[in-house]
Each structure stands twice: as structure tokens, then as C-alpha cells.
Structure 1
Amino acid sequence: MKTSSTVLVAILAAALGAWGYSILTPAKVAPVEHAADKKPEKPNDHVEQDEHGADRIRISDVKLAAAGIALAEAESVTLNDTLAFNGVLRANQEAVVQVTPRFPGVAKSIQKRIGDKVGKDDLLATIESNQSLTVYELKAPIAGTIIERQISLGEYVSEQKPAFVVADLSTIWVDLSIYRQDLRRVRLNDEVLIDPDDGRGEIKGAISYIAPVGSSETQTALARVVLPNTDGRLRPGLFATARLVLGKRNVAVAVRTGAIQMLENKTVVFVREDDDKIEARPVELGDSDSKFVENRAGLAAGERYVAENSFVVKAEMGKGDADHD
């Protein structure tokens, strides 16, 4: 009996000890994968290399459009050897007419204002003569646009001052300032490319007049180009730049000047590959003008490349390269 009690006590003590050990001993915790230890997945625009070692970045058409990046095709162009000049747009003075009252009097009505287009013989104003007290009409002598008005309702007017100035703006003068050292290179009928700086490209024209005398103040001489202006694109008073074409040369492959970038000490053009990649293609350049650069090696005619805002792609490729490292 005593032996049985002793065994029972031993069993109870062992059970209690095991239960206490389980409480004091910490449970095993599964290892936690820290964010720092986890390898990041490669983003869609990470930098990779093609079989020739050129850097490429994956970038969608949507992202290109959002960044204002424009693509163009490498193509054959004509490079122009040019000489640059500054100029100003003026109304064709051979098609500008001052409209002056015939008799002094008072303006009884005014029908037109600055900017209005008029036809020949359109009524501009009516004036009551001081001499006869009769009302006579002031009409447009030509079709054109009112560019000046120096008459107000009820105002005294006379033949001493024009009431209106009407200009036919269907043609515009571009007056260029030519420095003395360049005068020997400018000839009548020479081709000139006029840029009104309105984002719509250059207009081709020709030298129609060279002034026989120069300006003592600016030490320049005037050369003039007459341009058609039926769409009203050219506005008198605004500045323009001009390029006198001295020579031309055709090249097989050329890209726009804004496409050229330097990357890792290499001259590159960003070329569209597989519709979702941009490759930094090393190129060899040749002659150039203000718009295009000849490509002698690295790019074939017909390949699409980043023509505008190429610096955005360069920055994006730099970011992708840093992530890749």
C-alpha cells in the first residue's frame, strides 16, 4: 500500500514538471522573411542589354506619350548649308492705303474698327462737312484689313490726318538685316527659309530686293523676302529668323538634332525596338544643319527613333540602371 502511494506521487510529480516546462519554454517561431532580405522584382522599365551590349529599357507607348516623347523614322534628307539672319514681318507697303477725309468736318458714324476685314468700297464712316453741312461717306479704296483707325465718333476730322489705314495682308514683307561681311554672299533670287517661330515650320521664299544703301546706326543693309499670307499666319510687327541657303547635300540616313544624346561617353540615338523597348544605339555622325544630323553608322533608314524629348528617355534609363545595380 505504501509502495502504491509512492508510485502515484511520483507520476503526479512528473506530470506537473512536464506541464511547468512547457509553460516556461518559449515556442519555436517560424523565421520571418524581412523586406530588406527579399529581392525586389525587376520593374518593367529596368535596364537590360541586347546581344551587342547596347542598353535597352522597357517602356510602353502610353508612357512615351505621357512624357511628350515623339518618334520619327530615320530617313534620307537634304542638308542645307545656310547663313542665319534676323528679320521682322511688315505689311506689304505697296498694298497699304491711307483713307483721308476729303473735307473737314465731324464724324457722324463709324462702321469699322481695327482688325475688321473690308471689301473695296465698303463703308467705313460718315462725315458731316463743315462747309456744306452735308454728310458724305468714307469708303475703303481697296479690299483688306483695317490696321489703323484715328477717328472717333463726334470728333473733328480733316484731310490733314488719315482716318483709317487699310492693308492687303495677302502678302507680307520679311525685312532681313544683313551685316556688311555677309553682303557679298547675298544675291537676288537666293533661296531663303523663313521661320516665324510659331511652331509650324519654315516657309520657303527668295530674296526679291536688296537695299542700295545701309543703315549708319546698325551697320546693316536690308534684304527683303515677299511671302504669301492667304491664311493670315504671318502678322506684321513680329520677328522672324531666316536661313539663306548657300548649298545643299543629300544624305542617305539622318535624324533630328534633338535625338542626339551622350550616354556613358558614347553618342547615342534612342531607337524603338519590339514595340515596347527603347535601345540606346551608339551612332556615328556626319554633317548637319539646324534640323538634321547625318547618321553614317548605327542606324538604318526606316528605323523609328526618339526625335523629341530624348532627354526624358536618357533620365529614365539612368533611373532604371540605378535600380538594376
Structure 2
Amino acid sequence: MALLIVLGLLGTGAVLMTARHTSGEEAEHADPHEGQHEGQHEDTHEDKPGDKDAHAPEAQAHGEHEAHEEHEETRISLSAEQIKAAGITLQATGPGQLQASAEFQGEIRFNDDRTSHVVPRLAGVVEAVHADLGQQVKKGELLATVASTALAEQRSEWLTAQKRRDAARVSFEREKKLWEDRISAQQDFLQAQSALQEADIALQNAAQKLAAVGATGASAVLNRFEIRAPFAGTVVEKHLSLGEAVKEDASIFTVSDLSTVWADFAVAPKDLGTVRVGQRVIVSSTAFDSKTEGVIAYVGALLGEQTRTARARVALRNPGGAWRPGLFVTVAVLGEQQTLPLVVNADAVQSVEGQSMVFKAVDGGFAGQPVKLGRSDGRSVEVLGGLKAGEQIAASNTFVLKAELGKGSAEHEH
């Protein structure tokens, strides 16, 4: 038994030695350059560390150069004296209140309450034209002179009635004295009194006919009719010329008081609940930068048959005449106030090459800062990106900075 165990152990050791010898021979016959070729093949597809280090400073320098150029293009150098002379004020950005608003498209129209279509009220021939188109006229100022046969007849009637009234008064005074002296009968006095009353009525009737057409009885020329301005305003239409025959109902002049105008806009049924009489609005136009405030004076109770919208109206003061009838405008109807985290004045924002921009205060002047805007009520604008709370920006007269920025860009291109 012991002999069998020893033989088994010897056989096992021989097998192990044979396996090791075979593995060593395979390793010796393997290609010693195989790993070297594989390493060289892999290296051809990778950049060497030295190459990366060589390109990095060049890329960094190029990026810094572009950033420096961009910073220089948006920088505006101004001294404190120049800033003060330009009337530029500063504002610290931060939270603010903004009124929710709904915008509607509208149009400036004449104030119909202060617009008059002047008609002759008597047919005739134009003798003279004293007012020109676009002329400013005062109340009662002479616009034109018309020769009218109808007026001549009315003035003749008034003159005849006046003569009869004068004669009837003389007769009444005489009969009154005779009756008081008991010389004539009371019946003669009563007849004279009745005749005077009838003459007074006839004279009043003739005078009222003249007043109805805007004429007076006293005139050296019976057929001359003077057409005058009903109130102070501007001649916006003129439809007559010298020697032209005009009818009594022809519109020969249109005079409008342009110190006030109307801004009319359409309101859809879904917005009628938010548009009410008395609400404050801000009216603006893309034609110029000016804005004005007003109050809704009228909201139509009926919807148009074709548009299916109601008409709303805002009365605007127009002292400078900038809001001309026919101008398309945007009417922002203001609602309730809201508190927002970052708000700036609307005058602080300028559009530069289609990009909204504010001007941050920096050493020696300002730098343009593109911003992302949100809601606006015409006076304040919500800022969604590009600024942080507490930063100082130009808040007024920023158009001066925009102009300076344009000059700098033009010089840089040259």
C-alpha cells in the first residue's frame, strides 16, 4: 500500500514538470515584436501630450483677444462732467412694482366733440376765400365770403320789419298821449298798441331767420354772407375755391381742435371684462419714442356686425400735435400692480442691433450689457437675465449712450 502511494506522487510531479516545460517553449517561440507593433499602432491614433500643451496657450490667447475686443466695443468713456451735462442719472437695480397690462392695436382719430364740418347754410357763389388748408384759426375768424340772393331777401325782410316797427311805435306813442289827454278814444289807443306788438313780432321773426344762418341784419351789402370759424382750431379740410357755386349743405371746411384727440381700439369679447371706463392706459407708437397716458372714456355696448368687437376710446391731450389722426398706436391697458424681483426703468433699455441693452456704470464711463426682458407696463421693465440686483445702470437719457456706442462701432470698423 505504501509503495502504491509513493508511485502516485511521483507520477503527479512528472506531469506538472512536463506542462511547465511546454509553456516555456511557447513563450520563447512567440514574436517578440508583436506587443511593440500593437503599441505603435495605438499611438498613431492619439495626440502626443506635447502637442496639446503647444496648442493650449494659442487658443487661450485667441479667446482673451476676442473678449477684450468685445469689451472695448461696448465700453463708453465719459467723465463725471460729461455724464452730468448729458442729464444721465443712475439707478440701482433691484425689486420693483410692475402693473400688469393688456395691449391692443388702435388708431388716432379726430376728437369728434371738437371737430366741425362748416357748411354755408345758404346757397351762393364764393366771393373770397380767407383760410388755407392747415391754417390755425381763432373762434369767429373769417373763413370765406359768399354772395347769396337768399340772404339778400332775408335782410330785406328784416329791414322792412324794422321800419314797420319804428312806425308802429311812433303811432303808439301819439295815441297813448291823446288817450291820456282824453282827446282820443281808448279804442284808438288799443289798436295802436296791438299794431306795435305785431310789428315787434315780425321784427323778431326776421332777426331769428338771420341768426339761424349765422348772419346779421346790419350789412352794407345785403347779399354778402361771411362764414366764420365756430371755434379755435386747425383747418384740416377745404372744399371750395373762388367763384365756385356752393349749396347750402355743402361741407366747405373742416375745422378741428387738435389740442385733444381720440385713440380708438377694438376689444374682443374675451377682453371686455378687463377693459372698463376709467382705467388708465399708456399709448405708444412705433413711429417715434414718445408715450402718453390717458383714461378710457368710452367702451361700446354693442359688438360690430363684421368685426365682432367693441370699440373703446381714450381721450388724449395733444399739446404739441405729435399724435396725428391716422397714426397707428399701441394701447396698453394697465391692471393691478405686481412685485417682481428685478425691475428697471423703461428709459434705461435701448435696442442695439436688435438686442435689448442697458448700460452698466464702470470706471470711467459705462459698458453696454445685453439683457433678457420680460413684462413691461411702459414705465418699468422686468429683467429676466443679464443683470444682478444692486448693479448701477444708466436710468435716463440713455439714447445719448446708444449714440456714443454707435460712433464707437463705426470708428472700430474703419
TM-score w.r.t. structure 2 length?
0.52
Which residue does 2:108 correspond to in 1?
89
1:228 alignment partner in structure 2: 317
Q: Per-residue deviation at 1:79?
A: 2.0
Does the 8 Å contact 1:253/1:300 carry over to 2?
no
Q: Is 1:154 the equivalent of 2:243?
A: yes
Structure 2 counterpart of 1:249, from 338, 341, 344: 338
* Aligned residue among 302, 305, 316 for 2:392: 302
Q: How does 1:53-92 map to 2 (within 5 A)?
A: 56-57=71-72, 59-61=75-77, 73-75=90-92, 78-92=97-111
Tell me if the contact between 2:340 and 2:382 (Cα under 8 Å) persists in the aligned partners: no
Counterpart CA distance in 2 for 1:234 and 1:208 is 18
TM-score by length of 1: 0.65
Is residue 192–residue 207 contact of structure 1 (8 Å, CA) maintained in 2?
Answer: yes
Q: Within the alignment, does 1:135 sit opposite 2:224 as a pair?
A: yes
Q: Is the CA contact (8 Å cut-off) linking 1:271 and 1:305 kept in structure 2?
A: no
What's the counterpart of residue 66 of structure 1?
none
Q: CA deviation at 1:302?
A: 2.9
Report the structure number with the largest CA radius of gyration.
2
CA distance in 2, matches of 1:232, 1:175: 17
Distance 1:273 1:223, change over 3 A: same
Aligned equivalent of 1:109: 128
Distance 1:179 1:136 in 2: 49
The answer for the alignment partner of 1:177 in structure 2 is: 266
- Greater helix share, structure number: 2
Q: Please say if 1:288 is aligned against 2:288.
A: no
* Partners of 2:238 and 2:358 in 1: CA distance: 55
CA contact (8 A) 1:89 1:239 kept: yes
Summarize the Cα distance change of 1:270–1:233 in structure 2 as closer, same or farther, 3 Å threshold.
closer
Q: Distance in 2 between matches of 1:92 and 1:85?
A: 20
* 1:1-34 deviations in Å (ceiling 9; x for gaps): xxxxxxxxxxxxxxxxxxxxxxxxxxxxxxxxxx
Amino-acid identity (%): 27
Structure 1: gaps of 5 or more residues? 1-41, 50-54, 63-70, 320-325
**Structure 2 unmatched ranges of 5 or more:** 1-61, 79-87, 153-221
Going from structure 1 to structure 2, the CA distance change for 1:155 and 1:92 (only over 3 Å counts) comes to same
Name the structure where strand makes up a greater proportion of residues.
1
Give per-residue Cα distances to partners, 1:227-247, cap 9 Å, x unaligned. 111222211121111101122
Question: 2:350, 2:263 → 1: CA distance?
Answer: 28
Partners in 2 of 1:213 and 1:300 — Cα distance? Answer: 50
Closer, same or farther: CA 270–238 of 1 in aligned 2, 3 Å: closer
Question: Relative to 1, partners in 2 of residues 1:276 and 1:114: Cα closer, same or farther, differing over 3 Å?
Answer: closer
Query: In the TM superposition, what is the alpha-carbon distance from 1:74 to its structure 2 partner?
Result: 4.0
Q: Cα distance 1:287–1:241, how it changes in 2: closer, same or farther (>3 A)? A: closer
Task: Provide the aligned C-alpha RMSD in A.
Answer: 4.1
8 Å CA contact 2:358–2:393 kept in 1: the answer is no
- Any conservation in 2 of the 1:260–1:269 contact (CA below 8 Å)? no
Matched residue, 1:38: none
Instruction: Report the CA distance shift for 1:260/1:168 in structure 2 as closer, same or farther (over 3 A).
Output: closer
1:240 aligns with 2:310: no
Q: How many residues in Structure 1 have an aligned counterpart in Structure 2?
A: 257
Separation (CA, whole Å) in 2 of partners of 1:120 and 1:305: 44
Distance in 2 (alpha carbons) for counterparts of 1:268 and 1:225: 32
Q: Is residue 47 from structure 1 mapped to residue 72 from structure 2 by the alignment?
A: no
1:161, 1:249 → 2: CA distance? Answer: 55
The alpha-carbon deviation at position 222 of structure 1 amounts to 0.5
CA distance in 2, matches of 1:92, 1:122: 21
